[in-house]
Amino acid sequence: AISLGDYASLAFPLAFVLTVWEIVARAVFNSPTIWTLEIALLVSGIAYILVGPQTTALKSHISIDLMLKAVSDQTRSVLEVVGSVASIVFGAVITYSGWRLASPLLDGLERTGSALDSLAPSVIKVLIPLAGLLWTVLEAMRLGRMLRK
């Protein structure tokens, strides 16, 4: 999950370059592209979806630990277990909801309907439940490690 997120995060600079290219093409050459925005949104969406499990694996998400520092170690451990269980529930809901979005794709792929007419909606809809499942598994593993301590 960690290296997957590292590779996926490379999409953000790519999206930036594509956006700059679109601005230059439109403003300087008066020739906007029909594909730049769609591709930039797709690669950004993929990266955003895949970096979530990495954040979970590294436990590097944003947290407000003021409350955790004010309680005893035993209470902190209990709160971390509760937070982990809540994260597992969140991941399961994302996985289930994402599957409900992705399962109609078994009957046929969805396209954007734009001039490029890419498969971007299909790609994103398939990645959401996969990333949710990865998130859930990683968080369950983390919970298992916490409970063994």
Q: What is the pLDDT along the chain (149 residues), one digit of tens a residue?
A: 568 778 888 899 999 999 999 999 999 999 989 889 899 999 999 998 988 888 888 877 777 778 888 899 899 899 889 999 999 999 999 999 999 999 999 899 999 988 888 999 999 999 999 999 999 999 999 999 999 98
> What phi and psi values does residue 3 have, to the nearest 5 degrees?
-70, -30
3-state secondary structure of 31: coil
Residue 125, token pair as written in the block? 């809809």
pTM: 0.81
Pick from 105, 95, 6, 23: nearest CA to 57: 6
Read off the pLDDT of residues 111-120 as tens digits, 9 standing for 90 and up.
998 888 899 9
